[in-house]
Amino acid sequence: MAVHVLDALARGGFEEVIALFDRRSGVRGFLGIHDSTPGQAFGGVRRLNYRNETEALLDCLRLAKAMSFKCALAEIQGGGAKMVLLDRGPIDWRAAYRYVGSVVEGLGGRYYSGPDVGTGARELGWIGENTANVTLPGDEGPGLLPEATAAGVYAGIRAALTNRDGEEAWSRRKIIIQGMGSVGEVLARRFLELGARVLATELNSKRKGRLAKRLDVEWIDLGTEIETECDVFVPCALGGILHDLSIQRLRAEIVCGAANNQLARTFHGDVLQERGVLYVPDFVVNSGAVLRGADYHLTGQPAPLDEIETRIGQSTADILRRAADEGVSPVRIAVREAERRIEGRRQRSDRTSAESVRSSDPSPKKRESRDVVRP
- What's the CATH code, domain 5-71+78-136? 3.40.50.10860
pLDDT digits (tens, 9 = 90+) for 135-189: 987 777 898 899 999 999 999 999 999 999 999 999 999 999 999 999 999 999 9
Domain 145-334 has CATH 3.40.50.720: yes
Asked if 47 and 117 count as a contact pair (C-beta separation under 8 A), the reply is yes
Catalytically active residues, by annotation: 82
Which residues are 175's β-sheet partners? Answer: 198, 232
- Give the residue extent of every domain in the chain: 5-71+78-136, 145-334
Asked whether the predicted pLDDT for residue 374 surpasses 60, the reply is: no
Matching fold, domains 5-71+78-136 and 145-334:
yes
Q: How many alpha carbons lie under 13 Å from residue 362 in its C-beta half-sphere? A: 4
pLDDT digits (tens, 9 = 90+) for 230-240: 999 999 998 89
pLDDT digits (tens, 9 = 90+) for 329-359: 999 999 999 999 999 988 887 777 676 666 6
Asked if 182 and 189 count as a contact pair (C-beta separation under 8 A), the reply is no
Residue of 232, 297, 223, 227 whose CA lies nearest to 40: 297
Predicted TM-score of the model (pTM)? 0.88
